[in-house]
């Protein structure tokens, strides 16, 4: 074949990728409608001061504000009267007034006043400003943009309060690319070995990550685990990240040196990947600051914020040549293009997590129903980090899979009790006793 000869650029031009099912997020698109059935964080509460802020989410232009009674509103950006942007609106005791003609809108879009119209006007009864619910949780603002009658409960994760000294530090990082390639990066655990350790001069992750792992992707009630199991000397190290449909994830720290035994469900961060539009997205969430995570990678609340988190390579802020010499997640993901050309890929066995993610999302979109998405609070965490001494002849794939099953089967227990139960069962595994 001519495509498999030296200097075959003429024959190997990338084919055009026309598969948009998972990448288009605007209103009425299959993926956009699916994403609209969930709550999405979109900004830090500290970013919202006493004036409205224009935001773009899922291809829609919106304005978020806090009225003078402290209530949050998220309205369509352009006033229903004459289209003036409500980013120039004036927050009042109840809702917001358009600066142009004084129309007043409540946070649910109700038109409260049309001051220049006669008292007999029916405008207030006949029209509404488009509006979406907003909730504040631990310093993040969450929006629900789906059918109001299908609005689910806002999820509350068990890791918010575990361990007991946990402090949640909000952050948000913007990327000029489609949301899907950011989520795919999380479903690709082998990139942690190469991008963050083997190819990293500064050691973005600990030296333990230089050991190539065996990979597995066990199914959980929320999605699946992106799991890497390594043999490091006399210990086995398992790092299992939670891939939570449609766009959330919980990730154990990359600073774990695997020098001490542990049996934990204590992620370093939780994050959501939220589309701005088809070509832009951000990931937003909390850094979990506690004695356990700080032991692995010292940090404080000041390590997180807008465009800020304590892992090298998450932004384009460094000089270009420095990023070339030591790229990070930002460079690897954004350089694929605004929307990655998946038709030009050549996936291997190490890309199985990416394939699972695409297949699972596709199935979820196709099975979208008119029913409310159920949320069982607190939402259980399946991400885990295990370091345990173990004999050398253990099959790593089988061992990792059985450990994952333990954390899945014990999910109903309170977090600390669950960790203790998991440790007992895992130690029985290492001694050859069936758990």
Residue by residue, DSSP assigns 255-307 as: T--S-S-EEE---SEEEEEEEEETTEEEEEEEEEESHHHHHHS---GGG-BBT
Among 125, 150, 175, give the residue marking a domain's end: 150
Does one domain contain both 163 and 145?
A: no
- Looking at the structure, do residues 271 and 387 belong to the same domain, yes or no? yes
**Together in a domain, 290 and 188:** yes
Q: Which residues contact 81 (CB under 8 A, 6 or more apart)?
A: 98, 100, 101, 103, 114
Residue 5 lies in a domain: no
Please say if the pLDDT value at position 203 is more than 60: yes
416 and 292 assigned to the same domain? yes
pLDDT digits (tens, 9 = 90+) for 352-380: 999 999 999 999 999 998 888 889 999 99
The band of 89, judged by pLDDT with boundaries at 50, 70 and 90, is: very high
Model-level pTM?
Answer: 0.94
Can you read off the two tokens belonging to residue 287?
């850094």
Same domain, 382 and 363: yes
The larger pLDDT score, comparing residue 201 to residue 172, is at: 172
Average pLDDT, rounded, for the chain: 94
**Residue 22 within a domain:** no
In this prediction, residue 24 has a pLDDT band, given cuts at 50, 70 and 90, of very high
* 288 and 417 belong to one structural domain: yes
Are both 242 and 309 inside the same structural domain?
A: yes
Check which CATH number belongs to the domain holding 91 and give it. Answer: 2.102.10.10
Decide if 13 is inside a domain.
Answer: no
Question: Is there a single domain that holds both residue 109 and residue 76?
Answer: yes
- Residue 79 is assigned to a structural domain of this protein: yes
pLDDT of 433 > 50? The answer is: no
18: in domain: no
Count the domains in the chain. Answer: 2
328 and 180 housed in the same domain: yes
pLDDT recorded at residue 275 = 98
Residue 98 lies in a domain: yes
Quick one: 243 and 291 in the same domain?
yes
Whether residues 228 and 244 share a domain: the answer is: yes
Last residue of a domain, one of 99, 117, 150: 150
Over pLDDT 70: what percentage of the chain?
A: 99
- From 150, 178, 213, give the residue that closes a domain: 150
Interatomic CA distance for residues 341 and 357, integer angstroms: 16
Check whether residue 162 and residue 142 sit in a common domain: no
Question: Residue 8 above 90 pLDDT?
Answer: no
Q: Which long-range contacts (CB under 8 A, 24 or more apart) does 63-71 make?
A: 63/87, 63/89, 63/96, 64/134, 64/141, 65/89, 65/91, 65/96, 66/91, 67/91, 67/92, 67/93, 67/94, 67/95, 67/96, 67/107, 68/92, 68/93, 69/93, 69/94, 71/107
Mean pLDDT over residues 218-231, rounded? 97
pLDDT at 310: 92
Q: Is residue 200 one of the residues assigned to a domain?
A: yes
In a domain, 30, yes or no: no
User: What's the domain range around 232?
Assistant: 158-430
């Amino acid at each position: 074949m001519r495509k498999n000869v030296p200097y075959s650029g003429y024959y190997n031009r990338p084919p055009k990728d026309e598969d948009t099912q998972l990448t288009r997020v605007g209103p009425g698109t299959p993926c956009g409608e699916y994403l609209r059935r969930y709550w999405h964080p979109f900004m830090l509460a500290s970013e919202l001061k006493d004036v409205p802020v224009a935001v773009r989410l899922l291809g829609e232009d919106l304005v978020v504000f806090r009225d003078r009674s402290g209530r949050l509103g998220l309205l369509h950006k352009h006033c229903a009267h004459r289209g003036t942007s409500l980013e120039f609106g004036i927050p009042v005791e109840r809702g917001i007034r358009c600066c142009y003609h004084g129309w007043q809108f409540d946070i649910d879009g109700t038109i409260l006043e049309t001051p220049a119209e006669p008292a007999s006007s029916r405008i207030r009864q006949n029209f509404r400003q488009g509006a979406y619910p907003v909730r504040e949780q631990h310093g993040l603002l969450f929006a629900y943009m789906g059918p109001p009658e299908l609005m689910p409960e806002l999820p509350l994760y068990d890791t918010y309060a575990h361990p007991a000294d946990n402090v949640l530090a909000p952050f948000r990082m913007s990327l000029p690319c489609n949301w899907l390639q950011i989520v795919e990066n999380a479903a690709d655990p082998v990139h942690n070995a190469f991008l963050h350790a083997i190819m990293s001069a500064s050691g973005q992750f600990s030296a333990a990550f230089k050991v190539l792992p065996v990979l597995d992707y066990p199914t959980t009630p929320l999605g699946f685990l992106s799991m890497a199991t390594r043999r490091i000397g006399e210990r086995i190290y398992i790092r299992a990240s939670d891939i939570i449909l449609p766009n959330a994830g919980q990730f154990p720290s990359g600073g774990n040196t695997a020098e001490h035994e542990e049996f934990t469900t204590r992620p370093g961060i939780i994050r959501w990947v939220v589309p701005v539009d088809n070509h832009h997205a951000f990931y937003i969430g909390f850094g979990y600051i506690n004695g356990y995570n700080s032991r692995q990678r010292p940090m404080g609340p000041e390590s997180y914020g807008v465009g800020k988190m304590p892992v090298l390579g998450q932004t384009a802020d460094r000089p270009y040549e420095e990023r070339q010499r030591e790229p990070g997640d930002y460079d690897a993901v954004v350089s694929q293009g605004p929307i990655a050309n998946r038709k030009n890929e050549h996936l291997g066995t190490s890309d199985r997590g990416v394939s699972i993610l695409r297949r699972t999302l596709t199935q979820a979109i196709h099975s979208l129903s008119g029913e409310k998405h159920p949320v069982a609070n607190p939402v259980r965490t399946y991400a885990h980090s295990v370091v345990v001494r173990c004999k050398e002849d253990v099959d790593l794939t089988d061992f990792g899979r059985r450990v994952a099953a333990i954390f899945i089967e014990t999910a109903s227990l309170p977090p600390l009790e669950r960790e203790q139960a998991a440790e007992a069962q895992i130690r029985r595994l290492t001694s050859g006793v069936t758990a």
